[in-house]
């Protein structure tokens, strides 16, 4: 049990050091980036791009999520195991989306 | 350790005798010891199981003859819904990980507790709160839910029964499940004893680890879906309601994206129990350790992608049905790997058919029937014939009760000496197991025949031609319940009068059999160093004579 406590503390210290190396400047830049992307989403929604609007919105949302996950959730600075865990989750979500769309894209219209 | 100040040496006294900061009932309710939490789960789960069995018994009694027998049609709707909700959400889903996972996962990997003991206790409280909310929902609002355990829209949006609270109860239970999963994954990654590599972990741990991943990844989807039902009911947001432009089939997708993997949340730990019991009672190393371990992960992964087979007749696209049918058949591969490896383990083994092994043999027979009838449902053409009939009811009872239920009994008999430090009456246990087995098949097998002949599920009444099958099933339920009563009476009696159990009564090789029965508070005086696989039998050594 003692060993584990020591392990955890060491890990926390390592993480803290890595966090400090990021600095507030980066966080503010990421925040500004997120606001900018939100502005683009709103603008694109008003452009009447048809079916491309959805694709554009999804791409922008993906970029925003990547920023949040990497910087605010610190995954960029974490050990590989956490990166693997997050990747597994993303793959699962994507797979669910793709399989569900095999229904929605090919469904016969109701008469 | 668990409760702060130690009144006695945690290495010498069992976890029952240990006196911490709290005394009496509080020493249980506030304990963060994984073994005590496992037992808290055992008691709560069995209490809900008893309620579920009683409701099932009443349903079968109602169906003994056509027309009204003991209850009104609306009561019947509520009874089958309650039976389903209690059995699925409060019994089989938390089931084996909550009881045996909590108790044995840390011991089997050579740890003193799970990674987050306090979160572990919190998850039990969430489980209990979810259970209480479900009970409260019965007596408040519009009354007992009547949608079936699947809460299908649009009925669940429109019914006046108290759906919102029952659904919220399931949401809270989901959190309990997620916390347990986080705990188990972290424990498996960070708390293994020196030398305990991933491929030296007992197969029960592999099963728990794979299950925890499904719990972690699938449960949030159920949470969102259930909250959306509440949002539909209260705010009319129109995601599922066709009147508002919503899509009711989307609900079915989202519900089954969780609830099909949930089948594997129930089944994979049960497979893990089999992989523990067979090597012990065959006195042989498991045949094909790595394929069995990997097949748990494979079932978890492929099982995640097959939810659409619950929706073959719901109006999903043809291509989608084809893909889901194909994926469904693929699950049979890793499952087959397990079954053949178990049988191969027994081949030329020195088999002793004690009660746990007897239950495992019953499981192989019953689960094979459940699995093969699953293929009938997995193939689109045959599925459409038997959709929403008793065939489905027979199938999922063979699969769910036949795996998780029977293997809970197997695990209870296998680990009883370790958990409670007492032996049970072997002969009595075997007799009860046989009675249970006969009753089980009499109860559920006629359902396949009735279903094939066209008896719809969830119907209160039926045509006279089905009477014989219903009578056989009802009598079967009486026999099965008799078997379970004898079994639990024997176990409860043995708690007080059973002979003292030795450290290793079955000749098991995993770590729990190398510590006293019942285990001391911190499991191991010194954390063991692991030098070999989990199922190496050494016949010349004293421990196995």
Q: pLDDT per residue over B27-75, tens digit each?
A: 899 999 999 999 999 999 999 999 999 999 999 999 999 999 999 998 9
Is B245 touching A (CB cutoff 8 A)?
A: no
Is B118 touching A (CB cutoff 8 A)?
A: no
Structural domain of A73? 2-78
Q: With a cut of 70, say whether residue B4 has pLDDT above it.
A: no
Q: What is the mean pLDDT of residues A44-71?
A: 87
**pLDDT band at A6, cuts 50/70/90?**
low
Q: pLDDT at position B64, please?
A: 95
Domains of chain B: 26-544 (1.20.210.10)
Q: pLDDT at position B457, please?
A: 93
Judged by CB atoms closer than 8 Å, whether chains meet at A1 and B318 is answered as: no
Q: DSSP labels for B451-501?
A: HHHT-BTT-S---GGGHHHHHHHHHHHHHHHHHHHHHHHHHHHHHHHSPBP
**How far is the C-alpha of B478 from the C-alpha of B484, rounded, in Å?**
10
Is B316 touching A (CB cutoff 8 A)?
A: yes
Tens of pLDDT, residue by residue over B416-436, are 999 999 999 999 999 999 999
Instruction: Establish if A63 belongs to a structural domain.
Output: yes
Instruction: Establish if A102 belongs to a structural domain.
Output: no
Residue of B217, B261, B307 to mutate when probing chain A, most A C-beta within 10 A: B217
Instruction: Give which of B347, B332, B353 is closest to B433, Cα–Cα.
Output: B353
Beta-carbon-side half-sphere exposure of residue B408 (alpha carbons within 13 Å): 24
B253 vs A contacts (CB less than 8 Å): 100, 103
Among A1, A4, A100, whose Cβ lies nearest the Cβ of B253?
Answer: A100
3-state secondary structure of B422: strand
Tens of pLDDT, residue by residue over B346-374, are 999 999 999 999 999 999 999 999 988 99
Among A1, A88, A96, whose Cβ lies nearest the Cβ of B112?
Answer: A1
**pLDDT band at B448, cuts 50/70/90?**
very high
Q: pLDDT at position A2, please?
A: 46
Instruction: Establish if A74 belongs to a structural domain.
Output: yes
Instruction: Establish if A72 belongs to a structural domain.
Output: yes
Q: What is the mean pLDDT of residues B461-468?
A: 94
CA distances to B71, B85, B389, B477 from B55, rounded to whole Å, are 12, 11, 20, 12
3-state secondary structure of B394: helix
Split into its structural domains, chain A has a count of 1
For residue A78, give the DSSP letter: S
Instruction: Give which of B298, B304, B307, B301 is closest to B325, Cα–Cα.
Output: B307
For residue B72, give every residue at least 6 positions away whose Cβ sits within 8 Å of its Cβ, in sequence order, or none.
none
Instruction: Establish if A69 belongs to a structural domain.
Output: yes
Buried b or exposed e, range A86-103, using 16+ CB within 10 angstroms? eeeeeebeeebeebbebb
Residue of B317, B324, B326, B327 to mutate when probing chain A, most A C-beta within 10 A: B317
Within 10 angstroms of residue B469's Cβ, the number of other Cβ atoms is 21
For residue B340, give every residue at least 6 positions away whose Cβ sits within 8 Å of its Cβ, in sequence order, or none.
none
Cβ–Cβ under 8 Å, residues B509 and B279:
yes
Instruction: Give which of B435, B429, B434 is closest to B477, Cα–Cα.
Output: B435
Is B305 touching A (CB cutoff 8 A)?
A: yes
Q: pLDDT at position A7, please?
A: 66
pLDDT above 90: percentage of residues in chain B: 71
Min Cα distance B216 → chain A (Å) is: 9
- Cis before B86 (ω within 30): no
Q: Which two tokens stand for residue B168?
A: 């919220």
Instruction: Establish if A12 belongs to a structural domain.
Output: yes
For residue B24, give every residue at least 6 positions away whose Cβ sits within 8 Å of its Cβ, in sequence order, or none.
none
Judged by CB atoms closer than 8 Å, whether chains meet at A99 and B308 is answered as: yes
Instruction: Establish if A45 belongs to a structural domain.
Output: yes
Q: With a cut of 80, say whether residue B384 has pLDDT above it.
A: yes
Among A4, A81, A102, whose Cβ lies nearest the Cβ of B323?
Answer: A102
For residue A13, give every residue at least 6 positions away whose Cβ sits within 8 Å of its Cβ, in sequence order, or none.
none
Q: What is the mean pLDDT of residues B260-276?
A: 91
Q: With a cut of 80, say whether residue A109 has pLDDT above it.
A: no
Is B182 touching A (CB cutoff 8 A)?
A: no
Residue where the block lists tokens 């390592």: A14
Instruction: Establish if A29 belongs to a structural domain.
Output: yes
Judged by CB atoms closer than 8 Å, whether chains meet at B112 and A7 is answered as: no
């Amino acid at each position: 049990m003692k060993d584990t406590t020591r392990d955890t503390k060491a890990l926390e210290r390592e993480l803290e050091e890595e966090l400090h190396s990021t600095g507030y400047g980066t966080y503010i830049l990421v925040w500004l980036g997120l606001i900018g992307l939100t502005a683009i989403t709103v603008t694109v929604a008003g452009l009447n791009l048809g079916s491309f609007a959805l694709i554009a919105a999804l791409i922008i949302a993906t970029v925003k999520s990547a920023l949040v996950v990497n910087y605010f959730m610190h995954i960029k600075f974490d050990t590989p195991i956490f990166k693997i865990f997050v990747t597994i989750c993303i793959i699962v979500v994507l797979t669910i989306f793709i399989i569900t769309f095999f229904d929605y894209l090919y469904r016969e219209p109701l008469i | 350790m668990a409760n702060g100040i130690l009144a006695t040496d945690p290495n010498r006294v069992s976890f029952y005798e240990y006196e911490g900061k709290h005394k009496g009932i509080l020493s249980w309710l506030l304990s963060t010891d994984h073994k005590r939490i496992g037992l808290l789960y055992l008691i709560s789960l069995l209490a809900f199981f008893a309620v579920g069995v009683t409701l099932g018994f009443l349903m079968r009694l109602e169906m003994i003859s056509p027309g009204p027998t003991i209850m009104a049609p609306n009561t019947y709707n509520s009874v089958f819904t309650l039976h389903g909700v209690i059995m699925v959400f409060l019994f089989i889903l938390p089931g084996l990980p909550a009881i045996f996972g909590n108790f044995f996962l840390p011991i089997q990997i050579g740890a003193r507790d799970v990674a987050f003991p306090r979160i572990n206790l919190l998850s039990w409280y969430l489980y209990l709160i979810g259970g209480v909310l479900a009970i409260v929902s019965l007596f408040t609002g519009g009354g007992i839910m009547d949608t079936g355990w699947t809460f299908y829209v649009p009925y669940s949006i429109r019914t006046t029964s108290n759906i919102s609270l029952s659904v919220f109860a399931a949401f809270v239970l989901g959190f309990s499940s997620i916390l347990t999963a986080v705990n188990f994954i972290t424990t498996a990654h960070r708390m293994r004893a020196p030398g305990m590599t991933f491929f030296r972990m007992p197969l029960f741990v592999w099963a728990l680890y794979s299950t925890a991943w499904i719990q972690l990844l699938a449960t949030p989807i159920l949470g969102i879906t259930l909250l959306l039902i509440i949002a539909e009911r209260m705010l009319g947001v129109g995601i599922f309601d066709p009147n508002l432009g919503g899509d009711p089939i989307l609900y079915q997708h989202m519900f089954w994206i969780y609830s099909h993997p949930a089948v594997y949340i129930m089944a994979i730990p049960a497979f893990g129990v089999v992989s523990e019991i067979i090597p012990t009672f065959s006195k042989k190393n498991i045949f094909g350790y790595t394929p069995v371990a990997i097949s748990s992960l494979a079932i978890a992964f492929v099982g995640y992608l097959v939810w659409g087979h619950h929706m073959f007749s719901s109006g999903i696209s043809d291509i989608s049905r084809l893909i889901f049918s194909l994926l469904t058949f693929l699950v049979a591969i890793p499952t087959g790997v397990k079954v053949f490896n178990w049988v191969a383990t027994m081949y030329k083994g020195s088999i002793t058919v004690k009660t746990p092994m007897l239950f495992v043999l019953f499981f192989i027979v019953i689960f094979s029937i459940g699995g093969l009838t699953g293929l009938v449902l997995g193939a689109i053409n045959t599925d459409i014939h038997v959709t929403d009939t008793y065939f489905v009811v027979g199938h999922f009872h063979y699969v769910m009760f036949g795996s998780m239920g029977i293997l809970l009994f197997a695990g209870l008999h296998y680990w009883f000496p370790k958990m409670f430090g007492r032996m049970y009456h072997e002969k009595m246990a075997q007799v009860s197991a046989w009675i249970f087995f006969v009753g089980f098949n009499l109860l559920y097998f006629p359902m396949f025949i009735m279903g094939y002949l066209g008896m719809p599920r969830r119907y209160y009444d039926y045509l006279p031609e089905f009477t014989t099958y219903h009578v056989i099933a009802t009598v079967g339920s009486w026999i099965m319940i008799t078997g379970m009563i004898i079994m639990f009476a024997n176990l409860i009696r043995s708690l007080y009068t059973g002979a003292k159990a030795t450290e290793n009564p079955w000749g098991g090789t995993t770590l729990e059999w190398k510590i006293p029965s019942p285990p001391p508070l911190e499991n191991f005086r010194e954390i063991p160093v692991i030098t070999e696989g989990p199922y190496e039998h050494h016949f010349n050594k004293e421990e196995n004579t």
